[in-house]
Amino acid sequence: MSLRLGDTAANFEQQSSQGLINFYDYLGDQWGVLFSHPADYTPVCTTELGYTAKLHDEFDQRGVKVLALSVDKIESHGGWIDDINETQQTTVNFPILADEDRKVSELYGFLHPNASETTTVRSLVIIDPNKKVRLIITYPASTGRNFHEILRVIDSLQLTDQYKVATPANWQDGDDVVILPSIKDEQELKERFPKGYQTIKPYLRLTPQPNKKD
């Protein structure tokens, strides 16, 4: 399956380290992060899952449910989770899908035959409360993900869904944002952006982040 931005994320049922998961039921009306791992007992994955567990409160504050995937068995997941907890000084507090039959991996395009015939690559999908795919990132197996970037993207998506703005390069929560070029009416600009704005070019206008207090 070729997954694209704006697609409806496919529902599925699959066993996990916390029992049978129905994906839609698991997400409910929250945002979701689904991310795949090449295999259990791999060093980079161990650090990724441990760090994700440490970010539990950050994801929770944003209304985000996290779900990991590996193609190994549930029994293997149990021992690996013990290792993660020990070596990363944390407690894995989210399910890891046991995608032994590759059902979910194939559904979401996590298998890249030119990279590996049998294991998933490091893919990550962000899904909004309407079950729409909003971000797809794929890393090579040798490179661990930057989860602060994932949080940054979620912050941007949630902000830009609420206001008619976009976030510029290297934006961090609290920085100025870009007013959409489609807004041209002066009265609308004043109503939407009471903090004012700076016109650099007619198509490039910056305004303080709308949902932040002065």
pLDDT given at position 112:
59
| Residue whose token pair is 């049922």 | 13
Pairwise CA distance, residues 67 & 21, whole Å: 10
| Those residues with Cβ within 8 angstroms of residue 193's Cβ, 6 or more apart along the chain or in another chain | 179, 207, 210
Provide the b/e sequence for 34-50 (b: ≥16 CB within 10 Å). Answer: bbbbbbbebebbbebbb
pTM over 0.85: yes
Average pLDDT, the chain: 92
pLDDT given at position 38:
83
* Cβ–Cβ under 8 Å, residues 167 and 135: no
Domain ranges (residues) in the chain: 13-144, 163-207
pLDDT digits (tens, 9 = 90+) for 148-159: 999 999 999 999
Q: Which of the residues in the chain have pLDDT under 70?
A: 1, 112-121, 214
Pairwise CA distance, residues 5 & 87, whole Å: 36
| pLDDT-above-90 percentage for the chain | 82
CATH topology of domain 13-144: Glutaredoxin (3.40.30)
Query: Which of 155, 150, 172, 161 minimizes the C-alpha distance to 33?
Result: 150
Active site residues: 45
| Residue whose token pair is 């996590």 | 110
pLDDT digits (tens, 9 = 90+) for 123-135: 999 999 999 999 9
